């Protein structure tokens, strides 16, 4: 059968479906094609959404929409159509328009050292930080994951604009090597591979490479089957085979790539180590010496006494090649002289020395010492630390810092950097311990930023503090540790201290030159931005309090206290969530945020036209409700735009009235209690023309029997907007928010009323965004009271010994959930627990995670808690714990992204998560 032996993973099914199928013993596509709908629905833990996914895939296979073809990764893949439109073209097809993907059996990728490998981490492709961040935030870690995407997938990657796309396509076009089916391996060539492995060993995959297999295919094509099948082991010992094998260009190509992959460092390595790895048929041949000589002649390697390394000229060779003035300027700086001191020696200004050095650097070739540039470019690392960690001279450090140094990461972040080798990791760890002081119960490296962060964590996690008071604490800490004379730790002034601290990623600035500790790097900023729906704002200026008030539960989830903090968080992280300029946004003076081309004056006047006549106090409050600018600020700074309309304590405008025909039409149209103003204006202008649109104003709407709010109108039979929204939310026993007008979510009073009813238990969320009235529950179960529900939530919290839990984990440990008795989902129990002041919560993986106490937390904190018990877990073991014990379903890419953004460590080869990178090194 066509699909026999094809693993189900090739179908790109979700991880959950694959797990369900494998648990039930279905490992191959041919097996699932025999499943009926009843069989699928009976699979354990399949779920309706996953079942539908599987049914759809099977249907597409049977109808031919999905069919079998040779895969681009050397395996079989699933292909939709050779006639795909532009959006369905894969990234490979875009780069190579004439490509037939079923002809491709393997792809290799060139790394930054010019080596071809089977795959590359995104961080090793040479992309810009913007492109790297966009890909990794979308869950992609390796380039192989990208080439299989189609152009629609690429277009859907957040913050992935034209420049990023050009970078990606340029990489595919210039650094991808394709191997086609014409070089595929025959059965006879496979016999050669087996015989060679038996004779020489696996040789680290040397014989499994596409080049070697292509060579064996060419050799076997000129032989009869009998010659090979009878005794392949004997045949590979013959001189005839050795001559054909060593003279094949594919073999030579593979030897070159193999040697390049083993010696890819500027450090000296023993060339004799190759004789342990490569088969003797290679190392004992003329071919081996020929390849080494050619690589040296091409200036790729240099050899000295059986030692080999990448050949780049060193600092001294480069300096000696410079012209007199350039050489003199660079030499003085490498000796440690300042620009001014070097200028005095040369008889020129310091600025002239700087220009000479910049010119020399602009024309500089790659040097051996540039291998360390990554660390200088990315980390704030001083000379002492650099020399200790990398074991180089001060001259090399000075060379690397000749130009503008952009690194701003803390040195301790090297410990979680994928580029850090074991030696770099351990030396960094040693340095941090050696150069540490004890603050509280924590040893902190002697770096200004790290000391400030630890002090902020100790003193400002729960309460705000002024920068002035914190500056005193910092200096007192230096005094207590006899560090007041250490120039590296001092600040030139209190103001400089404040500026540096205010810009850091571990504090949020508050009103009145105060701040609070907040670990920004642990937050899922992309999810925050998505939840805020910033795309709703067009050409408008708002205060951050608008976003804060409209998203109270989201603010609680992220531990944000007020609009000032939210403004600071969004401003500091804009380069993350708006890297591609998706939003035309400008962060003005706190708390103002400007979207697009906004005019404050026009905005103030337009609102007045909508609500006048209105008192000054009422207008200020309406502006605050609509735009999130505090009413005191409006009164002090915004009235100047509308002073001309102020008379006798009221703002009044000359607003046009409706004629008799228009009044009659509007009375017939306005049959509901509530309308959005824009809908009323559109209906009216559609009937009477755009030129009459201004007739729909506060004056005429009030005459029609409606009270006017900032962006909606309400029948004047209601005493307040809260009364109306409370009526709407409680008029039926069951409320589905998704069935309501989505614009209501951005009406502050609607959210305020909903939260009030939720907290009072008048409404209880029994499914996500679906509510039931308490009176409906009590009608069916008279013995259930609000007090009993609150007591139940407290009992559930008290029954759990751990700091973190979900209602699913409580049930797993034997707690009887009320939802089971009522016949509703577990979301009901979670919604009761979330109203308690004894816990904080976070949404994740389709449920609510709870943490006891008042401190905000992230999903990464919860994963860290799980790992503390075992220190390491295989991915599927962790995934099983999350799903089976906690009811959390996090997509694989998202889970790994969370882990990589924390202090934990994920090893993609072992597919294992470690509590720390140190534990990873101990394990391996």
DSSP H or E segment with residue 172 = helix 162-175
Check: pTM over 0.85? Answer yes or no: no
Provide the 10 A C-beta neighbour count for residue 173: 12
Residue 474: CA count within 13 A, CB half-sphere: 27
pLDDT in the model for residue 352: 94
Q: Which residues of the chain have a pLDDT value below 70?
A: 1-2, 5, 9, 12, 14-16, 49, 63-88, 97-105, 112-116, 179-188, 223-230, 264-267, 405-406, 924
Alpha helices in 670-785 (DSSP H): 677-688, 698-703, 721-730, 748-759, 774-780
pLDDT in the model for residue 711: 83
pLDDT in the model for residue 919: 85
pLDDT in the model for residue 367: 87
Radius of gyration of the chain (CA): 34
Spatial strand order of the sheet with 465-466 comes to 465-466, 514-517, 507-510
Q: Which pLDDT tens digit goes with each residue over 421-468?
A: 788 888 888 888 788 898 988 888 888 888 999 999 999 998 999 999
pLDDT in the model for residue 586: 94
Residues facing 301 on adjacent strands: 310
SS3 of 207, please? helix
pLDDT in the model for residue 465: 96
The helix, strand and coil proportions of the chain, stated in percent and rounded to the nearest 5, come to 55, 15, 30
Q: Which of the 8 DSSP states describes residue 157?
A: S
Closest among 634, 637, 610 to 624, alpha carbons compared: 634
pLDDT in the model for residue 69: 46
Q: Which pLDDT tens digit goes with each residue over 481-517?
A: 999 998 889 999 999 999 999 999 999 999 999 999 9
pLDDT in the model for residue 77: 45
End-to-end CA distance of the chain: 43
What span, in angstroms and rounded, lies between the C-alpha atoms of 205 and 262? 13
pLDDT in the model for residue 452: 95
Extended beta strands in 53-103, E state: 67-70, 76-79
Residue 729: CA count within 13 A, CB half-sphere: 28
What span, in angstroms and rounded, lies between the C-alpha atoms of 331 and 395? 10
Q: Are 110 and 175 in contact (CB under 8 A)?
A: yes
DSSP H or E segment with residue 108 = strand 104-110
Alpha helices in 306-444 (DSSP H): 315-321, 324-334, 339-346, 350-362, 373-378, 383-390, 394-400, 422-434
SS3 of 618, please? helix
Question: Would you tell me the crossing angle of helices 494-502 and 467-480 to the nearest 10 degrees?
Answer: 110
Closest among 301, 450, 267, 261 to 372, alpha carbons compared: 267
Tokens matching residue 163? 């420049």
pLDDT in the model for residue 49: 66
């Amino acid at each position: 059968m066509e699909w026999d032996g094809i693993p189900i993973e090739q179908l790109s099914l979700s991880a959950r479906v694959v797990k369900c199928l494998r648990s039930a013993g279905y490992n191959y596509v041919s097996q699932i094609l025999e499943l009926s709908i009843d069989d699928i629905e009976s699979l354990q833990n399949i779920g309706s959404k996953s079942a539908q996914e599987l049914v759809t895939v099977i249907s597409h296979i049977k109808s031919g929409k999905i069919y079998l073809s040779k895969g681009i990764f050397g395996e079989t893949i699933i292909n939709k159509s050779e006639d795909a439109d532009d959006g369905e073209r894969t990234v490979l097809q875009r780069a190579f328009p004439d490509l037939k993907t079923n002809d491709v059996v393997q792809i290799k990728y060139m790394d930054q050292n010019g080596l071809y490998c089977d795959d590359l981490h995104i961080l090793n492709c040479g992309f810009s930080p913007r492109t790297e961040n966009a890909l990794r935030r979308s869950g992609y870690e390796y380039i192989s994951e990208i080439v299989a995407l189609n152009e629609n997938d690429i277009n859907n990657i957040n913050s992935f604009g034209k420049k990023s796309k050009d970078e990606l396509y340029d990489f595919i076009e210039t650094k991808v090597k394709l191997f086609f089916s014409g070089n595929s391996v025959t059965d006879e060539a496979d016999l050669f591979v087996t015989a060679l492995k038996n004779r020489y060993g696996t040789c680290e995959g040397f014989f499994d490479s596409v080049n070697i297999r292509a060579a064996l295919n060419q050799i076997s094509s000129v032989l009869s089957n009998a010659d090979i099948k009878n005794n392949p082991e004997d045949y590979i010992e013959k001189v005839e085979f050795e001559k054909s094998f060593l003279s094949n260009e594919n073999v030579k190509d593979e030897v070159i790539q193999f040697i390049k992959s083993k010696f890819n460092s500027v450090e000296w390595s023993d060339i004799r180590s190759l004789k342990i790895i490569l088969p003797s048929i290679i190392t004992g041949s003329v071919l081996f010496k020929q390849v080494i000589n050619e690589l040296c002649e091409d200036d790729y390697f240099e050899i000295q006494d059986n030692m080999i390394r990448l050949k780049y000229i060193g600092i001294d060779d480069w300096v000696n090649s410079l012209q007199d003035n350039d050489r003199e300027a660079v030499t003085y700086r490498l000796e440690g002289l300042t620009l001014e001191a070097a200028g005095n020696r040369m008889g020129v200004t310091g600025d002239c020395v700087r220009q000479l050095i910049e010119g020399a650097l602009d024309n500089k070739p790659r040097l051996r010492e540039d291998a360390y540039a990554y660390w200088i470019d990315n980390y704030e690392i001083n000379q002492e630390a650099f020399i200790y960690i990398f074991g180089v001279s001060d001259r090399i450090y000075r060379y690397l810092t000749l130009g503008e140094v952009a690194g701003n990461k803390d040195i301790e972040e090297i410990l979680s950097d994928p580029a850090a080798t074991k030696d770099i990791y351990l030396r960094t760890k040693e340095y941090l311990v050696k150069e540490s002081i004890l603050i509280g119960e924590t040893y902190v490296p002697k770096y200004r930023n790290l000391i400030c962060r630890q002090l902020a964590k100790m003193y400002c996690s729960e309460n705000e503090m002024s920068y002035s008071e914190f500056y005193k604490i910092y200096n007192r800490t230096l005094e207590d540790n006899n560090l007041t004379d250490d120039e590296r730790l001092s600040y030139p002034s209190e103001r400089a201290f404040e500026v540096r601290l205010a810009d850091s990623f571990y504090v949020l600035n508050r009103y009145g030159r105060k701040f609070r500790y907040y670990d920004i790097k642990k937050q899922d900023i992309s999810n925050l931005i998505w939840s805020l729906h910033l795309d709703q704002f067009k050409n408008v200026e708002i205060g951050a309090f608008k976003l804060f008030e409209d998203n109270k539960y989201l603010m609680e989830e992220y531990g944000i206290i007020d609009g000032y903090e939210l403004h600071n968080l969004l401003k500091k992280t804009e380069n993350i969530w708006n890297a591609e300029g998706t939003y035309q946004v400008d962060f003005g003076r706190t708390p103002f945020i400007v979207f697009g081309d906004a005019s404050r004056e026009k905005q103030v006047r337009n609102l007045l036209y909508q609500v006048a006549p209105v008192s000054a106090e009422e207008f200020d409050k309406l502006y605050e409700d609509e735009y999130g600018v505090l009413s005191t600020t409006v009164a002090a700074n915004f009235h100047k735009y509308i002073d001309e309309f102020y008379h006798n304590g009221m703002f009044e405008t000359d607003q046009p009235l409706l004629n008799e025909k228009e009044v009659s039409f509007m009375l017939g149209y306005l049959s509901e209690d509530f309308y959005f103003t824009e809908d009323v204006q559109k209906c009216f202008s559609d009937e009477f023309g755009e030129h009459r649109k201004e007739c729909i104003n506060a004056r005429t709407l009030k005459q029609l029997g409606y009270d006017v709010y900032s962006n909606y109108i309400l029948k004047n039979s209601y005493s307040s907007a809260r009364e109306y929204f409370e009526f709407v939310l409680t008029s039926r026993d069951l409320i589905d928010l998704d069935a309501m007008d989505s614009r209501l979510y951005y009406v502050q009073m609607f959210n305020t009323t909903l939260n009030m009813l939720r907290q009072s238990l008048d409404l209880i969320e029994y499914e996500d965004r679906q509510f039931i009235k308490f009176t409906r529950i009590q009608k069916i179960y008279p013995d259930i009271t609000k007090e009993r529900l609150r007591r139940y939530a407290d009992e559930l919290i008290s029954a759990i010994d751990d700091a973190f839990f979900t209602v699913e984990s409580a049930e797993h440990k034997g707690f009887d959930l009320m939802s089971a008795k009522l016949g509703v989902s577990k979301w009901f129990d979670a919604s009761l627990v979330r109203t308690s002041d004894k816990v904080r919560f976070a949404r994740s993986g389709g449920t609510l995670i709870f943490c006891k106490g008042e401190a905000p937390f992230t999903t990464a904190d919860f994963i860290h808690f799980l790992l503390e018990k075992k220190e390491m877990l295989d991915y599927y073991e962790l995934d099983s714990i999350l799903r089976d014990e906690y009811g959390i379903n996090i997509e694989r890419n998202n889970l790994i992204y969370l882990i990589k953004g924390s202090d934990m460590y994920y090893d993609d080869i072992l597919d294992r998560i470690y509590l720390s990178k140190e534990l990873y090194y101990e394990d391996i």
